[in-house]
Amino acid sequence: MSGGEVAGLLVAVFWAILVSFLAVALVRLAQTLRAATRLLDGVTEQAVPLLGEASQTVRSAQTQLDRVEAIAVDVQDVAANASALSATVASTFGGPLVKVAAFGYGVRRALRRRGAPPAEPVVVTRRVPAARRRRSGKD
| Type of residue numbered 58 | V
What is the per-residue pLDDT across 7-32, written as a single tens digit (0 to 9) for each? 889 999 999 999 999 999 999 999 99
| pLDDT at res. 69 | 93
Q: pTM of the prediction?
A: 0.41
Q: What is the DSSP letter of 139?
A: -
- Position 116 scores a pLDDT of 63
- First-to-final CA distance of the chain: 148
Q: Residue 137: left (phi > 0), alpha (psi -120 to 50), or beta? A: left
Q: What is the largest CA-CA distance in the chain?
A: 157
The pLDDT of residue 89 = 80
- In this structure, are residues 138 and 128 in contact, taking their beta carbons and an 8 Å threshold? yes
> In angstroms, what CA-CA distances link 126 with 18, 37, 60, 123, 129?
121, 103, 76, 10, 10
Q: Residue 60 pLDDT more than 90?
A: yes
